[in-house]
Structure 1
Amino acid sequence: MVESSGSREQWATRLGFILAAVGSAVGLGNIWRFPFQIGQEGGGAFLLIYLLFVVLIGIPVILVEFVIGRRAKQSPVKAFTELGYGSWRYIGGLFVLTGLMIMSFYSVAAGWVLRYTGGSVTGAYFENPEAYFAAVSEGTMTIALHGLFIALTAVIVAAGVKRGIELAVKAMIPALVVVMLVLIGYAATLDGAMAGYSWFLSPDLDVLAENWTTILPAAAGQAFFTLSLGMGVMITYASYIGEDRNLAEDSGWIAGLDTLVAVMAGLIIFPVLFAIGATPGDGGPGELFIGVGGAIAEIPGSHIVGVLFFGVVAIGALSSAISILEVLVSYLIDSYGVERKKATYGMAGLIFLLGVPSAMDLETLDLIDGITGGFMLPLGVFLLVIFVGWVFPHSDDELSKGLKSGAEGRLPQLWLWYVRTVVLFVVAIVLVFYAYNQLVEFGVIA
């Protein structure tokens, strides 16, 4: 639950905050985007780099967002002004724009999930998964399901932090984990499960050596996407945190639980794909629906497994969408004083309109996904790291206030040094590689 502190709500329990933050991180990024990313980028080689990014870059950047959010007690755009650095508020504006763009295609993909959950009951996609996905992924029905998912998300966010977000995630996240454990146990019984585990968990260093310039930015973008970094989510959620919380510990828990769910998704998806001899990565954005959906159609208990699997994906998608919409809504509330319900349904309407092109054309969805995940999220992280590493006050007292009230020892200064050097350098390299890959793709560089 959440209690009021002055004019701003606070998470009353550490569990409530962590589940909300994990709910933000756990979603389509883990279960939809992760499989086709890892399939296209070399299996275990991509997983290795992804895990390194989560640990070495993701956790420190979560802490960066937490420090700003808790100190400012404001949403991303207003936070920089509240801290006395109004000229940096454009970083918050970038976060809002990124969130809008992500939600515009995210809700479309989530609409597919709703359709497949219902389709699992009737077996609608069992006979011809490719044709079914082609029908589901574009057109009038896709627009309708896109709107339905946004409406579900808006109802929860409109209820507020106390009666909406925290209450929802406390029910959804435990349910998601329990059902995933059941599906992992089932996947382990399938023929080909060991081949799936081997492909997923064993990094091929030759693949890494040959493709590291594409694997590196792809893994970074996936880590930022799945941890909800570079879009202001963690700043917004941290603005509701009390002064007595240990943000360093919370950052580790959130990244760890999110990564656990991503690995759990792989332990379900890849054994299922290998059980029918499917090749991971062939389906692109449709990997989850064509590949996994087709595999589910061929295994025993397909109706039940399909409902459970796509039901889990729907829960994860909703928990993440709640957090992104909350960033956009809190921006209107904090910056313009808009009443929560009006802000929520207004933003929901805008997202619906922006999502229509993605609902009508799969290539548009793929393009926006690539721009946001490959460029906008890393750019937001890069600018944020510059601000905290080189602009934000660096005295022990100021850093201690940001990390934890009364924090002692060398953590604040060690963390600051790491953020302003190692993290900044690595994220800069990611952006350079993204630019290089785009130049190669468009033929500017041979």
Structure 2
Amino acid sequence: MSQRETWATRAGFILAAVGSAVGLGNIWQFPFKTSEYGGATFLVVYLVAAIGIGLPAMLAEFVVGRKSNLNAIGAFEKLGFRNWKWVGVLGVGTGFWILSYYSVVGGWVLRYMGGSVTGAYFADPAAYFGQVSAGLDALALHALFMILVVAIVAGGVEDGIEKATKLMVPSIVVILGVLAVWVFTLPGASPGYSYFLSPDLSQLSLSVSFDPLPSFSGPLTDIIPFAVSQAFFSLSLGMGAMITYASYVGEDQSLFGDSITVVVFNSAVGILAGLVVIPLLFVQGIEPGSGGAGALFVSLATAFAELPAGRVVGVVFFGVVLIAALSSAISLLEVVVSYAVDNYGARRPQIAAALGGLIFLLGIPSALDTAWLGWFDTLAYQLLLPVSVLGVLVFIGWVFGRPAVDELLNGSSLGGGVGMTWLWLVRTVVVLGVVLTLALGVQTLFFAENPAIVPPL
């Protein structure tokens, strides 16, 4: 077996982790989930979840990765808990599942870059999205996006992923910042800022009844599972990505400091994307939540069509969305590639191509019908992500225990009290928060009037 790769620099690891987090989850999912589930109310729940649940959970995944110095599946076995290997398998499977439809959306981005050059969507942006979001063209672009992802991952950790993300992440921030300033100058944007930044506190309520099983009601019933899972999705938790990336980290790095950097940076980019997309929905007179998965594409395409330099702005914006999409997608493919390289001595380029091909096949239904893409997304948000994150938290809090604290403190000036506080938060508050999220998701998936678990056959 060849010597395992590592990050060349601490900045490389942080930017790679940020790049994994700052992707379509922020720029595509976050704005349309926010507009669909209450605007500023969703934002409040999301931020609480990102800091109160996402940060401790990220530290848990970092600890598993660095302590084992192995991939997401092999990590639990190397730590001496073979029976918990299923947590790693579930994480890898979740990342595999998400990347299959994520790649389809990446194909949409490629299409819109080309459409910006030619002005193809200027005449009727809504109709254009309907034409390109599903069908053989969407399938071909899904394949092209996966080829780009495979090419980067095949280059390895230092030469492929680290070099790519050092360019991608700063570009995302700069271009989004410029676009946010531009949107601020548009007439009619003010109601969008109010919707996004002024929460309705009356919506922050949840009640539970037992008849005989627990049943939840209230405005937060729909908001919590999507807001918490949005934190998981945008932070790349529950997919094996952060375990895998941390496995390349040296003992002298502060996991605590790195995780705070990733969470803060990720949340800031999500808010920045919201400041671009949501006001534009109001500028165009689009009802919040009515755009669905196409909200980003339709609203921005409509705005770009009315700009004197709309083609240039369109190319720039969808270019940064493509960068964001690639930075996350490469982390998800790296999870399964790392497992094959670590455990079977597979050659990285060949295994990246083979696994990329399998992910492409799984994404075919999503490419041919957006109803399937929505179904894949719903299962990921309401079931796969919460269960996967919960598995890591229970393992760290109640099985691995004190050695997790020791690993967390390596490379850090923090005292043992901080580490033990984190461990007890993981054992109690954080686990209970994920259990509530999962319970609300299960209620929608299995016990609603129209159960979401039923595929769109």
TM-score, normalisation: structure 1:
0.95
Q: Contact 1:39/1:280 (CA < 8 Å) preserved in 2?
A: yes
Q: Distance in 2 between matches of 1:336 and 1:133?
A: 43
* Total equivalences in the alignment: 438
How much has 1:300 moved relative to structure 2? 4.2
1:18-417 matches, within 5 Å, as 18-209=14-205, 210-394=218-402, 399-405=405-411, 408-417=415-424
Q: Distance in 2 between matches of 1:439 and 1:327?
A: 30
Q: Distance in 2 between matches of 1:259 and 1:150?
A: 26
Q: Which amino acid aligns with 1:416?
A: L
- Specify the alignment match of 1:423 in structure 2: 430
Q: Contact 2:31/2:277 (CA < 8 Å) preserved in 1?
A: yes
The SS at the match of 1:11 is: coil
How much has 1:336 moved relative to structure 2? 2.0
Q: Distance in 2 between matches of 1:344 and 1:437?
A: 36
Q: Distance in 2 between matches of 1:289 and 1:335?
A: 41
How much has 1:28 moved relative to structure 2? 0.6
Q: Contact 1:44/1:203 (CA < 8 Å) preserved in 2?
A: yes
Q: Which amino acid aligns with 2:343?
A: S
For the pair 1:441 / 2:420, whether they are aligned, the reply is: no
How much has 1:402 moved relative to structure 2? 3.6
- Structure 2 residue ranges without an equivalent (≥5): 206-217, 452-457
Q: Which amino acid aligns with 1:125?
A: Y
Q: Contact 1:67/1:403 (CA < 8 Å) preserved in 2?
A: no
Q: Which amino acid aligns with 1:287?
A: A
Higher mean C-alpha displacement, 435-444 vs 216-225: 435-444
- Specify the alignment match of 1:432 in structure 2: 439
Q: Contact 1:72/1:79 (CA < 8 Å) preserved in 2?
A: yes
Q: Distance in 2 between matches of 1:248 and 1:272?
A: 37
The SS at the match of 2:204 is: helix
How much has 1:443 moved relative to structure 2? 5.1
How much has 1:238 moved relative to structure 2? 0.2
Q: Distance in 2 between matches of 1:411 and 1:26?
A: 28
The verdict on how the C-alpha distance between 1:15 and 1:362 changes in structure 2, with shifts beyond 3 A counting, is: same
How much has 1:49 moved relative to structure 2? 0.3
Q: Distance in 2 between matches of 1:231 and 1:157?
A: 16
Q: Distance in 1 between matches of 2:165 and 2:411?
A: 27
Q: Distance in 1 between matches of 2:129 and 2:409?
A: 46
Q: Distance in 2 between matches of 1:227 and 1:415?
A: 18
Q: Distance in 1 between matches of 2:52 and 2:132?
A: 39
Q: Distance in 2 between matches of 1:339 and 1:276?
A: 50
Q: Which amino acid aligns with 1:423?
A: V
The SS at the match of 1:252 is: helix
Higher mean C-alpha displacement, 11-20 vs 151-160: 11-20
Q: Contact 2:8/2:158 (CA < 8 Å) preserved in 1?
A: no
- Specify the alignment match of 2:212 in structure 1: none
Percent of matched pairs sharing the same residue: 50
Q: Contact 1:47/1:200 (CA < 8 Å) preserved in 2?
A: yes
How much has 1:440 moved relative to structure 2? 4.5
How much has 1:61 moved relative to structure 2? 0.5
Q: Which amino acid aligns with 2:22?
A: V
How much has 1:298 moved relative to structure 2? 2.7
How much has 1:286 moved relative to structure 2? 1.1
Q: Which amino acid aligns with 1:404?
A: N
Q: Distance in 2 between matches of 1:442 and 1:331?
A: 41
Higher mean C-alpha displacement, 304-313 vs 115-124: 304-313
Aligned-residue CA RMSD (Å): 1.6
1:253-287 CA-partner distances (Å, limit 9, x unpaired): 00000011000101111222222222221111111
Q: Distance in 2 between matches of 1:414 and 1:150?
A: 42
Q: Distance in 1 between matches of 2:261 and 2:408?
A: 18
1:109-151 CA-partner distances (Å, limit 9, x unpaired): 1000000011011111111112211111111111110010000
Q: Contact 1:272/1:296 (CA < 8 Å) preserved in 2?
A: no
How much has 1:222 moved relative to structure 2? 0.5
How much has 1:207 moved relative to structure 2? 3.3
1:278-318 CA-partner distances (Å, limit 9, x unpaired): 22211111111123322332344321221121111111000
How much has 1:405 moved relative to structure 2? 4.3
Q: Which amino acid aligns with 2:249?
A: I
Q: Distance in 2 between matches of 1:266 and 1:29?
A: 12
Q: Contact 2:35/2:278 (CA < 8 Å) preserved in 1?
A: no
